[in-house]
């Protein structure tokens, strides 16, 4: 398995299938977003060849994201090819759910194991305000289709944005009382041209927890050992539970309590750049290396070297913000 110079095992690749999206969430991209010409993006065979290369290098866990991954042509065929790649042990997707009602079943049959669906509010008007273009009932239809298709456990991602949905925390958390879901509350991260908005409207995790505890009483940490009530980390989420709940709550405090020391991930953008830290600008243009005809061992060596030099962590505490791309251009 590839390692970086800090001894972290890097084996989790998040692949962006497209930079395009059928929504325009306020925390992710500007409304007038410009997308890259399709020729600059990985074509199906390039995407599959690069996935196979990462699996050969020792990557085991794969997540498809975007932009909106379900908006990519041939998404079912791409999932089938990745699921069949030797070395791929886990394959999941992060989606806004808008197209999931029809796609959940074919994606599950093609080998997708789980989905995270973004859902920031239970109120249709607020949902439209946050996503600019979204329709809440379509996302719900997608969530239910995903459950029927066995893409479980369902995880719901809510980015909390001051002035938009901080009052929705209790309602979203209440979903876990009856459903075996994980509702994850995410601190908004600053990226690219909308970083000023993201920095002024961020809601820190401690405030999210205080708001929930005001409504429900103390949250129970989901801990590995009951005598030490320290919440376990599920990926980047610290897990808690409402008293008596079936499901769990996850808090992703990337800004105020970064989990960089445990980071095992790298990202492949839709235009084929390997980005070793979401919040650092540097990347390796793997797609250009592939297109240049460089021999496979040479490309693998360059990738291994880039992984070795993965940045220790982000620089938000020192006000260092990656300005070159917004979230949808990287793959969240
Ligand atoms: N379109 C899909 C979706 O919305 O689920 C996948 C791509 S989206 C960029 C991946 C995840 O990043 C979503 O859960 C989204 O809510 C989250 N996200 C977007 N912008 C963010 C930001 N500035 N800070 C934290 N999370 C963000
Ligand atoms: Fe699209 Fe996802 Fe970004 Fe929303 S968060 S604009 S759904 S890529």
- Alpha carbons within 13 angstroms on the beta-carbon side of residue 221 total 12
* Any ligand 1 atom below 6 A from CB of 159: yes
pLDDT reported for residue 166: 96
Q: How far is the CA of 24 from the centre of ligand 2 (A)?
A: 6
Q: How far is the CA of 58 from the centre of ligand 1 (A)?
A: 26
* Any ligand 1 atom below 6 A from CB of 120: no
**CATH number for the 12-329 domain, one of 3.40.50.150, 3.90.78.10, 3.40.47.10, 3.20.20.70?**
3.20.20.70
**In the chain, domain spans:** 12-329
- Please give the average pLDDT of every successive group of 10 residues along the chain, which has 332 residues: 96 98 97 95 98 98 98 97 98 98 98 98 97 96 98 98 98 97 97 94 98 97 84 92 97 94 96 97 97 97 98 89 94 89
Which ligand approaches the C-alpha of residue 198 most closely? 1
| Cα–Cα nearest to 64, from 104, 115, 139, 30 | 115
pLDDT reported for residue 325: 94
Three-state SS string over 127-166 comes to: HHHHHCCCCHHHHHHHHHHHHHCCCCCCEEEEEEECCCCH
Start-to-end CA distance of the chain, whole Å, equals 23
Atom of ligand 2 nearest to the CA of 67: 8
- DSSP code per residue over 19-50: S--S---TTT--SSPPPPPGGGSPPHHHHHHH
Pocket lined around ligand 2, Cβ cut-off 6 Å: 21, 23-25, 28-29, 66-68, 96, 118, 327-328
E strand or H helix that includes residue 260: none
Q: How far is the CA of 18 from the centre of ligand 1 (A)?
A: 13
- Provide φ and ψ at 248, rounded to 5°: -125, 165
Omega within 30 of 0 (cis) for the link into 323: no
């Amino acid at each position: 398995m590839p390692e970086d110079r800090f001894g972290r095992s890097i084996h989790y690749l998040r692949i962006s299938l497209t930079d395009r999206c059928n929504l325009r969430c306020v925390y992710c991209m500007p409304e007038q977003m410009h997308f890259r010409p399709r020729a600059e993006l990985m074509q199906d065979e390039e995407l599959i060849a690069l996935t196979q290369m990462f699996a050969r290098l020792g990557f085991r866990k794969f997540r498809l994201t975007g932009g909106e991954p379900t908006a990519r042509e041939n998404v079912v065929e791409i999932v089938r090819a990745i699921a069949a790649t030797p070395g791929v042990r886990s394959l999941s997707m992060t989606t806004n759910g808008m197209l999931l009602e029809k796609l959940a079943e074919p994606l599950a049959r093609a080998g997708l194991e789980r989905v995270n669906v973004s859902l920031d509010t239970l109120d249709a008007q607020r949902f439209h305000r946050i996503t600019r273009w979204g329709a809440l009932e379509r996302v719900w239809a997608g969530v239910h289709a995903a459950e029927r298709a066995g893409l479980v456990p369902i995880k719901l991602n809510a980015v909390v944005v001051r002035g938009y949905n901080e009052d929705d925390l209790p309602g979203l958390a209440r979903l876990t009382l009856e459903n075996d879901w994980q509702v994850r509350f995410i601190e908004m991260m600053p990226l690219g041209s909308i970083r000023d908005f993201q920095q002024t409207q961020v809601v820190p995790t401690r405030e999210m927890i205080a708001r929930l505890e005001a409504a429900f009483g103390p949250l129970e940490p989901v801990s590995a050992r009951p005598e030490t009530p320290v919440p376990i980390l599920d990926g980047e989420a610290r897990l808690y539970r409402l008293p008596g709940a079936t499901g769990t709550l996850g808090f992703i405090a990337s800004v105020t309590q970064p989990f960089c020391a445990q980071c095992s991930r790298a990202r492949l953008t839709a235009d084929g750049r390997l980005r070793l830290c979401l919040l650092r600008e540097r990347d390796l243009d793997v797609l250009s290396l592939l297109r240049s005809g460089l021999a496979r061992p040479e490309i693998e060596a360059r990738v291994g070297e880039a992984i070795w030099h993965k940045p220790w962590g982000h620089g938000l505490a020192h006000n260092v913000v990656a300005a070159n791309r917004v979230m949808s251009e990287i793959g969240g």
